[in-house]
Amino acid sequence: MPGSRFKIDVALLATCQALFMTAVSLLATASALVGLALAPSAGLATVPLGLQFLATMAFTFPASLFMQRFGRRTGFMTGAALGMLGAGLAAWSVHQRSFEGLCAGTFCIGIFIAFAQYYRFAAADIATREYRSRAISLVLAGGVIAAFAGPNLANASRDMVASATFAGCFVVVAGLATMTMLVLAFVRVPRMQVKSGDAASRRLVEIATQPRYLTAVAGALVGYAAMNLLMTSTPLAMETRTLPFADTASVIQWHVVGMFAPSFFTGHLIRRFGTLQVMLVGAVLQGVCVLVNLAGDSYAHFLAALVLLGLGWNFLFVGATHLLTETYSSQEKAKAQGFNDLLVFATVTFTATSSGYLHFEFGWRSLNLGVIPFLVVVVAAIAWLKRVEGAGADRLPPAHA
């Protein structure tokens, strides 16, 4: 049974996750609309959000190596400080109507996100093998708070600065990053040390070509990319259909609930039914989301679709994260985790940057149809892993704990 210190650290990491995801959900609600107001053309509306993901992609691997050398907490604090500075720059840029400054600010926020993505791995580091999936899911459950706080804060702070609509949203993000730094001061996370008796570290190509690693990457990559592509474009689709901003905020809010509320029991489901089964259900749920989006464009359709999208993301992402932790030794941890998140956020960056262009160039229907082939790839990868390792693939002990 985990000790009290373990529970405290998981709770603190969950709090950091809640603050970080509140900022992310706030930005998801407002960024495309801010970009639309400041961009030279409508097709560039999601470029600031895309640059946020570009920074996350570019700094994901370096962040992992940085934390291996200087410690998790130092890395998390550094990222939060950059998030605070970037949000301040973005707020000033919205006030000055500078699209370039907005892009620079969101890029800095992306570095904050790159470090914060490792909260889930920090939880895995301090957990026993038996408790690992639950620790990961409980930290991600901190995002439930973000589901309600983020969109509501976006709505409340939209006109906080009278002369600059949406500038107040970035002021709030700066405050959330500052609060994250305060919470991190109390977190105790062990350094990423090599365990005695570990075999020599394998080359990255050997780690990355394992069937489990490939399946974990496919699940996280496609789940996150599909979620990001459709979530980022949904505010634009709702704006095009003249639905009020309050409806958009509500849809994003319940989407984030769908993303994180299952985390209270996803770890249990993984232990009960197996990692691959949970990931498979996640891919199916995201497929159903696409069908709902294709069926209509009312508020109810957008709401149902994004809740399903969030649920599917949770099962895919938590499952993929847990599967990934079974593919490396402690010596290999930094590069295995870093390379995984680099691949994931390279794809997420593309979807975030291109979603505005794809939406206005090809339309909402085509955007949704384009997601389906990638979900088929995930289902095929899961089936392949089961075939490679046998019907009991979910239950096998990890090759490298």
Note the pLDDT tens digit of each residue in 286-344: 999 999 999 998 999 999 999 999 999 999 999 999 999 889 888 888 899 999 988 98
pLDDT of the residue at 397:
45
> Quick check: is 291 in a domain?
yes
Phi, psi of 128 (to 5 degrees): -70, 160
> Quick check: is 369 in a domain?
yes
pLDDT of the residue at 308:
97
Contact 57, 111 (CB under 8 A): no
Q: Any idea which residue has 């809010």 for tokens?
A: 253
> Quick check: is 398 in a domain?
no
Dig out the tokens for 262 from the structure. 């299952």
Q: Which of 119-133, 159-173, 280-294 is predicted with the least confidence, judged by mean pLDDT?
A: 119-133
Read off the pLDDT of each residue in 3-31 and give the average, rounded to a whole number. Answer: 84
> Quick check: is 25 in a domain?
yes
Read off the pLDDT of each residue in 250-268 and give the average, rounded to a whole number. Answer: 86
Which of 235, 250, 229 is CA-nearest to residue 33?
235
d(CA 21, CA 227): 15
> Quick check: is 397 in a domain?
no
In the structure, what pLDDT confidence band is assigned to residue 365 with cuts at 50, 70 and 90? very high
What does pTM read for this prediction? 0.75
> Quick check: is 312 in a domain?
yes
pLDDT tens readout for residues 203-257 = 999 999 999 999 999 999 999 889 988 988 898 889 888 888 788 878 987 888 8
pLDDT of the residue at 359:
86
d(CA 215, CA 220): 9
CATH number of the domain at 273, please: 1.20.1250.20
- What one-character DSSP code corresponds to residue 201? P
394 pLDDT higher than 60: no
Contact 25, 256 (CB under 8 A): yes
> What is the gyration radius of the CA atoms in the chain, in angstroms?
20
Q: How far is C-alpha 354 from the geometric centre of its chain's CA atoms?
A: 18
Q: In total, how many domains does the chain have?
A: 1
> Quick check: is 401 in a domain?
no
pLDDT of the residue at 200:
66
Where is pLDDT greater, at 261 or 129?
261
Segments forming the whole domain that contains residue 179 = 4-189+202-390
> Quick check: is 101 in a domain?
yes
pLDDT tens readout for residues 44-73 = 877 888 788 788 888 988 998 999 889 899
Whole-number average pLDDT of the chain: 86
